[in-house]
Amino acid sequence: MARTALVTGASSGIGREIAKELDKRGFRLILAARRADRLEELAAQLNDTRVITCDLSREDECRRLYDEVKNEKVTVLVNNAGFGKLGRFEQIPLEDELRMIDTNVRAVHILTKLFLRDLIEEDRGYILNVASSAGLMPGGPLMAAYYATKAYVTSLTSSIYEELKMADSRVKISALCPGPVDTEFNRVANADFGVKAITPEYCAKCGVEGMFAGKLIIIPERGLDIASKAAQLAPRRMILAVTGQLQSAKKKEDNDASL
């Protein structure tokens, strides 16, 4: 029987490419996202694949997803669903930020907890939480809520990682923390990052390889890895000022989009 992997936010971008990477490795795929047509189109390209349409910004939908697949021996969970918004904190609509928190934080928290319990009981499996280099920084002026959500994901993942080590568990958990990736995220965030982005294919390959290697923090770009370590040593206010300047350079395009 093929190993089974669940990938959320699989309708585009990094999630879509992670699904392809896992398919190459012989996994049976369960793909979850809001856009059924895109999931079906991707499933047609893969081998043994099941599609579940759901809105993970809703707690009941997170629980429904778990209930639908809990008996299918999922050994890999990829929490990829998420989005960001660019703008001044007081100007971004509150409902957009709350939906972002529900998707980027609550969904990751709920699914990680529910599936982790099963994986620990079986003493095997992997969880890959797709975070961001934003989650390694002290904050992100003009993307305040997004940076905060990704900091939550990296902090949560890091704590669970250490708990699993303390328990001598064979279950592994990782956080994928890329910089700009050439996906729909830029349009959704209403931003042009102004720097060379890596491809989602490359990001996915690094993420899957790092997950199976048991790495805690996976940063696909070597230069970004060095920069993130340097940022941890620099004064917080200086890093915030530099980050704010970089965010200010981003160009606004589309006001209403979501993954």
Express each pLDDT in 187-235 by its tens digit: 544 554 445 789 999 999 999 999 999 999 999 987 655 555 545 545 6
CB neighbour list of residue 90: distance below 8 Å, 6 or more residues apart: none
Q: What integer is the mean pLDDT of 240-249?
A: 57
Whether residue 254 lies inside any domain: the answer is no
Please state which of the ranges 9-13, 142-146, 157-161, 251-255 shows the lowest mean pLDDT.
251-255
What pLDDT score does 182 carry?
Answer: 77
Which residue of the set 146, 147, 152, 161 is catalytic? 146
Q: What integer is the mean pLDDT of 161-178?
A: 97
pTM for this one? 0.84
Gap between the Cα atoms of 132 and 231, Å rounded: 15
What pLDDT score does 166 carry?
Answer: 97
Asked if residue 250 has pLDDT above 60, the reply is no
> Over the stretch 94-124, which tens digit does the pLDDT of each residue have?
999 999 999 999 999 999 999 999 999 999 9
Instruction: Specify the higher pLDDT residue, 91 or 228.
Output: 91
Whether residue 21 lies inside any domain: the answer is yes
Whether residue 9 lies inside any domain: the answer is yes
What pLDDT score does 221 carry?
Answer: 81
Would you say 77 and 128 are in contact if contact means Cβ atoms under 8 Å apart?
A: yes
Gap between the Cα atoms of 98 and 225, Å rounded: 30
Whether residue 23 lies inside any domain: the answer is yes
When divided into structural domains, the chain yields a total of 1
Helix (H) or strand (E) holding 204: helix 200-212
Nearest to 40 by CA among 32, 72, 6, 73: 32
> Over the stretch 129-155, which tens digit does the pLDDT of each residue have?
999 999 998 888 899 999 999 999 999
What pLDDT score does 139 carry?
Answer: 86
Whether residue 259 lies inside any domain: the answer is no
Whether residue 120 lies inside any domain: the answer is yes
Q: Is residue 152 annotated as part of the catalytic site, yes or no?
A: no
CATH number at residue 183: 3.40.50.720
Whether residue 256 lies inside any domain: the answer is no
Gap between the Cα atoms of 63 and 71, Å rounded: 14
Whether residue 153 lies inside any domain: the answer is yes
State the residue range of the domain holding 141.
4-248
* Angle at the Cα of 157 from the Cα atoms of 227 and 235, rounded to 5 degrees: 35
